[in-house]
Homo-oligomer: A and B are copies of this chain.
């Protein structure tokens, strides 16, 4: 009894979290297979009380699996997700390869779970920043009708993988000992710095990451004409993203109704009592399944606007947790 699950990219930062979350959430597993590139094949990983040997991910390795969760490059996803689907599995892909494909649902289970059910064998997991932001934005959209949003992000290094996390730690040690810093994961030192540069730059001056927020928000919330603009910034934080949001709505807003909408929504905690020092911080949302929203106030920039601040674990709601939740949607 239970489902046979494969993880592609099992040795990476998100892959490790996927294994942990399947255990933590007691996902109804009957078998777990771990895949990676040929370089990591043969490696042994402890999971679910067993030692599992990592196999090379190939087009022919997916037979008999119910779900294959991909946390690998877009190139590999493009090659292997269709093979997993053809083998009868549902492929849940963390890369950006299929997100804007009209035949592939892009799913945040708290927002559009019905889209997951209508899949053709591949389901896309959203960009981390987008998923975390929408956990707060969508309940407010349902209540007031979203028209426009400006977002500025404060992104953790975990989004760049384990090497970036190790490099931030290394740089902090080097700086505290007065040594020169080792700079490899980013073009510049990330400790004590902020880089307005996440993913590569496009012709319109935005980064790919910024355009993911614009385009994926439209698709997930079913708002093809949503007006939005985003600035993505990497800061020296380990594994939780934060986002400053200025949102304009169709209807008149009230703080009370906004708070009630958040409190009634799944997966998001209201942490909003600034007079008593309560607001979401990335440090508090690391290793937490729910995202958090606070600093909710009438936005002085709009007639019907709300300004607020969201935080959430990049490796969890921004990646691994959302992917596991998609699989859970389909188990019910």
Contacts and interface: CB of A to CB of B under 8 A. Distances in A.
A32 interface: no
A277 B187 contact: yes
A49 interface: no
Contact of A194 (B173, B242, B307): B242
Contact of A236 (B195, B235, B309): B235
Contacts of A283: 188-189, 192-193
Given A152-B244, A175-B172, A197-B279, A205 B297 contact: yes
A231 B197 contact: no
Interface string A180-203: 000000011101111111000100
**Which bracket fits the contact residues of A?**
35 or more
> Is chain A's interface secondary structure helix, strand, loop, or mixed overall?
mixed
Interface stretch (A39-47, A57-65, A135-143, A298-306): A298-306
Given A176-B176, A244-B152, A192 B238 contact: yes
A194 B280 CA distance: 9
Interface in A100-155: 148-150, 152, 154
Given A206-B300, A233-B309, 9 more contacts: A169-B176, A172-B173, A173-B173, A173-B176, A192-B236, A194-B237, A196-B242, A205-B307, A229-B302
A296 B227 CA distance: 19
Given A176-B173, A201-B274, A301-B150, A194 B296 contact: no
A7 interface: no
Contacts of A194: 154, 235, 237, 242, 281-282
A246 interface: yes
A302 B297 CA distance: 22
A33 interface: no
Counting chain B CB atoms within 10 Å of each CB, which of A173, A187, A274 scores highest?
A274
